[in-house]
Chains A and B, each alone.
Chain A
Amino acid sequence: MKILLIEDDAEAAQFAARGLREAGHLVDIADHAEDGEHMALEGHYDVFIVDRMLPGGDGLSIVKKARAASVTTPALFLTAVGGVGDRVEGLEAGADDYLVKPYVFSELLARVNALGRRPRTLDMRDRLTAGDIEIDLGSRTARRAGVDLDLTPQEFRLLEFLVRHSGLVVTRDMLLQKVWGFDFEPRANLIDAHMSRLRAKVDRPFARDRIQTARGTGYRLDDHD
């Protein structure tokens, strides 16, 4: 993917860019709000990563202007601005995700990959598949290899998220935020417990495990046939 990274701290920018390039992405860096805005509006990128406190302005206004100019490129705020309400403000400005510094690189990579996957237009299909897993968004039912899976609404939401991001690593924080709406980190490890319940229904009766553990980061749904 082609990524625009708007970040004024040179060391932080190089750190993120190196990691993203190692993961196979192309990265352009802008270290000033005006340059960043120009590149965001003119260039053709798959994902924007935007800092908030920049020389020349708030990254918030870059995203707002891009959205006003009908640039729908997914945007992620990567910022130290993480107070009460800041995340909501960022998402309301038109960003698709919000990651507060300091961050772990694997978290950023997972989120950037997930954003790149996101369809540009609203997905109207009501049927999603990953390998032999098939979910019906209308009736909110799931099947694997033609067998109905008996899932609770919560388990269904979790599986839906995994299917939408099949083949990609999703982190525990992503799941907490996107599936449970928790913007904070509970002390108890909620995700692993949910995942083991889901595995009991989705994987245990079948020969092959679809839900894989990405060590230290999260989970990945295997979408190979």
Chain B
Amino acid sequence: MTAQQYELKVKTEDLSAGKADMFLRLNELKAQNARLQTITALDHGEELEVIYNFERGTDEVNLHVRTPKREPIPSITGIFPSAFIAENEVQEHFQVKISGINVDFGGKMMKIEGATEVTLVKPAVGPEPFIKRFYGRCREECPAMVNAPKYIRQILQGKPQEGYSTVIEQAPLPAILGRVCFAPCQEGCRQEKNEEPIQIRLLKRFAADSMPSLKRKVKRAKATGRKVAVVGGGPSGVSCAFYLGMMGHEVTLYEKNDRCGGAMLWGIPKYRLPKNIMEDEIAARFEEAGVKLKAGKEVKSLKPLLKDHDAIFIGIGAVESYKLGIEGEEAEGVIDSRQLLSEVNAGDRLLNIGQTVAVVGGGNSSIDAARVARRLGASNVTMYYRRTEKEMPASPLEIHGATQEGVNFEYLITPVKVFPGKPLKLVLQYMQLGEPDESGRRRPVPIQGSEFTVVVDTVIKAIGQAVSIPKDYGVEVTRRGTIVTNENYETSLKNVYAGGDCVYGPSSVIEALRDGRNAASAIDRSFGGKGWSEPSIDINEFVGRPLNLEEIKSMERVEVRELSSEERVRNFDEVELGYNSSEAFREAYRCWRCDWNE
């Protein structure tokens, strides 16, 4: 196998030692089960630098020892007996003496022709030095690299609560992710070729549902005395606060609304994510990490925070909406989808939006708005999107759910003008697809003279969110309004970090959680710590292939039970009913364990 496939993040560690403490280091390496691979020597005139190369797990360790050439070098064959061939060659090439070699051939082994002074002398090694393993494609597709194969195995062994903790090592909100994540892991599953990927998201939800109260008994690291402020209680802020708290720092979180959650609160409807579960989970994480919550406080300027705290993380998200840019936009009855959703989802108010509703837009939040409109009593809900179904950014699961609930879809149509009144008159125009724009999708071009009018009670605008940062923060922003950061999540101000939607534009929950975790690692490292540990593989955990491959290949996917279509539109109860333990066991049994290492 060539070394440039799947970067395994092989770490190379360089140690130096003098002749006095060289054996101390060697004994340490031996205790860590390192294997000697090669010995190299570099000639520096009067001195010789001997480099011992070891393999420890999947890492490489180089030990550099500098000695003057006149003195004999002690042999390491007492600890690593396989070094004798290499040491004999070093003796021969560099005219030095190595004392105490365990097996001495009198220098009569293996002359290399054409050897120069800087030559690699090596014992006989095999073809591949270390174990090559995979993470599993599901884990590689996840933006946060949650260890999906491991918690599927733990569910199979009957320990779903340990699976819950496994998820929290990379992303701290499993109960929420098990309901709302768009699951790129399932697209990476190798069984997706025959249309039956493992339902990883539902298994994650099962692991969370099996915890009686979502609270765990875990210990924080020792207090370091550093104080960090987190602005914004959305997914990126919650994640950053949790990981910083677990690493021992003192964190205070400032949130503008009364309740935490951010886009999870106002953006995702109650039939997908019940709000009590969301709040229980965030509260449990804050309790484990010792985070102080200051809700209802809007942060207008960073200067007072910078005085009291050692670092700040900004995670305020994308809360403004794009305007349609047509005449009559401010008329009564034309409402913003974000406003509608936050009133319904967060405020629990059931607005009256009439019977005929038009929704403009094609993303996931537009579909959420349409489905909410159906539940609010509208009998005729139509979505207008200016391109075709293939280019719609909404996930197919959502489109399927919306179609089942009676939402109509019209493609290649865009609004041109709104005539105010009760009811409203909306003028629409047909489009056709022209040349592709910079995102690769074909740009729609209006067909002249094809306007027509529909009569609606409400028009909902759902064409996307924009970021707007208050000027008093003093951070540098791009043309689109997002914050400028480098790859270490630092902004243009010292000790101020940012991540999530406010940096990358509207994206997903899991990407915001990853940003929070990485920013927490960067903050900890700037304080002199080690950061939160990177996702890695445990060499010594034995993962076996399942025994009966034929039986597994013939099993079918376990579908999740859902509420029926009539029941759904009457209320805001959760639509997916989740797995029970026998269904979860059967689904986890189907996993092919692509990360096997036997």
Q: Are both chains from one complex?
A: no
Footprint of B on A, CB under 8 Å? none
Q: B residues near A, CB below 8 A?
A: none
